[in-house]
Homo-oligomer: A and B are copies of this chain.
Amino acid sequence: MQKSIESVSVFAPATIANVGSAFDVLGCALEAPGDTVVATFCERPGITITAIHGDDGKLPLDPTHNTAGVSVCCLVDALTNKSGTPGTNRGISLELHKGLPVGSGLGSSSASTVAAVVAANELLGSPLSRIELLPFAMEGERVACGAAHADNVAPCLLGGFVLIRSYDPLDVIQLPAPSSASIAVVNPHLELKTSDARKILKAHVPLASAVAQWGNVAALVAGLFRDDLELMGRALHDTIIEPERAQLIPGYKEAKSAALSAGALGCSISGSGPSIFALCNDPLTAERVATVMVEAFYKAGVSSTKHVSGINTVGARVIERK
């Protein structure tokens, strides 16, 4: 007889929301870095967060205020209502290992939320599919940024590039991932609140700019289907959001310019920043691009951390069952 599972560890990756021109509708998952969450059955009923490592004490242990806690509570409530109390009246404890810096624009809250939801679902016998988990993960985003956005959680759950066509009704479309893309990511050591990065945006935009933007968004999607990195690079061009948010990131313009000079096909802000990403043809180019971006930030007085990653095509993954 197979021993029942008491504990599941899940890794969920960093994600790049917006992806240049596709503000608020597109996101993609990276292979690394990411967060790991361990979900374990415990005697205490309900959801408990026992520890958060690597957040410098920034995140709340109270599960009603923690994105991962909120999402898992919603999930367990829904499953309980659906099929009786799961896990024989036991509770679930969560232990979060943050590999992603908070407020970095790399989908840090989404990674914790998705890892926790996938781990809890697995612990409960995997009653729901990945796409069925999405609404629960989105509840965590409501806690993190005031709105149930899906452009980080959807690619984090599903992998690859994911388009959110509409929220009412929710219409999520998985797109092909380019087979050979390498992404250089640089995280300047500045904290930028999503709410501040939203506030800077103008409520109205010129129609001509919007048209140019949706031409680029269309081309970005075509580039994904064609596996055409050059086209994707051209199509990242964002004339609406990036010029506003660039003002909040000292060194951004210099870093972008350095990235393009060093061979990046395109470069933009990851999520609401301050992290930035550059699309490259191969890992060697991406390493070189990441290095020149770090140097450019350094010259602007900002220290930063670099990562080079391929596109994660599977989303969050179970790394251990005990």
Contacts and interface: CB of A to CB of B under 8 A. Distances in A.
Best-buried of A22, A205, A213, A221 by chain B (most CB within 10 Å): A221
Contact of A215 (B166, B203, B222, B231): B166
B214 A175 contact: no
A159 to B, nearest CB: 16
A214 B212 contact: no
Contact of A220 (B166, B202, B212, B218): B218
Nearest to A213: B214
A165 B23 contact: no
A25 interface: yes
B219 A173 contact: yes
Interface in A208-226: 210-222, 225
A175 B211 CA distance: 18
Given A175-B222, A221-B221, A222-B221, A216 B165 contact: yes
Contact of A165 (B206, B207, B234): B234
Chain A interface size, as a band, is: 35 or more
Contact of A214 (B22, B206, B231, B234): B22
Given A212-B166, A214-B22, A218-B26, A234 B171 contact: yes
Interface in A260-317: none
Given A220-B218, A225-B222, A25 B201 contact: no
Nearest to A174: B222
A24 interface: yes
Contacts of A25: 211, 214-215, 218
Copies of this chain present in the complex amount to 2
B165 A235 contact: yes
B164 A215 contact: yes
A163 interface: yes
B215 A218 contact: no
A246 interface: no
B166 A218 contact: no
Nearest to A25: B215
Contacts of A203: 206-207
Contacts of A22: 214, 218
Interface in A144-182: 163-166, 171, 173, 175
Given A23-B214, A165-B215, A204-B205, 20 more contacts: A22-B218, A23-B211, A24-B215, A25-B215, A25-B218, A166-B234, A173-B222, A173-B231, A203-B206, A203-B207, A204-B206, A204-B207, A205-B207, A207-B240, A210-B210, A210-B240, A214-B214, A217-B217, A217-B218, A222-B225
27 contacts: A23-B211, A24-B215, A25-B214, A25-B215, A163-B215, A165-B215, A165-B216, A166-B212, A171-B234, A173-B231, A201-B207, A203-B206, A204-B204, A204-B207, A205-B207, A205-B210, A207-B240, A210-B213, A210-B214, A210-B240, A213-B214, A214-B214, A217-B217, A218-B220, A221-B221, A221-B222, A225-B225
